[in-house]
Amino acid sequence: MLSKKEKTLIKEMLERLTPVAAEIGADALLMFAAYPGTKTYFSHLDISPNSSRLLAHGKKIVLAIVEGAQDISQLTVTLAPLQTLHAYQLRIDPTNFKLQLLSHSMLVTLACHLGDEFTPVAHAAMDKYLSAFAAVLAEKYR
Ligand code: ZNH
């Protein structure tokens, strides 16, 4: 799926974004939560623009994506706790992962933040990685 080169590219790109994880996560989450079907999951959180919860939750999401990128071949192992959380505690409808709305929101946000650095090669690699990530999160439901 992902070549060695792509994995390295993703890892480096994400590591450089770690200092602005909250900002990027917040932007992506705002975009994501604007989709009608996803809003309900966040009704208990104040994720209005610039709210502390938006930044905190956004940061958690990006850091999980950075962590997963450390060794993409081990994604199912790294993400096991998150799988359980989404499937059994949060009970997120798995359709949400298949729609890839958060992945898409993240790609758009990365494109905005990275500018020229978000090359077609980087875009394709990141798209594949985020799809794999979402697929792993949806796995526990089967
Ligand atoms: Zn999610 C949570 C990530 C998807 C919903 N998440 C969470 C967290 C993280 C994440 C990291 C935290 C955990 C702790 O705290 O420990 N997610 C993630 C990712 C993805 C996701 C990376 C993709 C790719 N989510 C998702 C979806 C949804 C969700 C799709 C819906 C629809 N999450 C969620 C919620 C939560 C979470 C609701 C909880 C919040 C609170 O805080 O409450």
Does the C-beta of 102 come closer than 6 Å to ligand 1? yes
Give the N- to C-terminal CA distance of the chain in Å, as an integer.
Answer: 22
What's 61's domain CATH number? 1.10.490.10
Q: Is 50 helix (H, G, I), strand (E, B) or coil?
A: coil
pTM (predicted TM-score): 0.96
Cβ contacts of 105 within 8 Å, gap of 6 or more: 28, 29, 31, 32
Ligand 1 centroid, distance to 63 Cα (angstroms): 12
Ligand 1 centroid, distance to 91 Cα (angstroms): 11
Domain count, the chain: 1
The distance from CA 64 to its chain's CA centroid, rounded to whole angstroms, is 7
Does the C-beta of 133 come closer than 6 Å to ligand 1? yes
The range of the structural domain enclosing residue 128 comes to 4-141
Q: Which residue has the least CA distance to atom 38 on ligand 1?
A: 41
| ipTM score for this prediction | 0.95
- The model's pLDDT over 3-39, given as tens digits with 9 standing for 90+, comes to 999 999 999 999 999 999 999 999 999 999 999 889 8
The residue type found at 117 is E
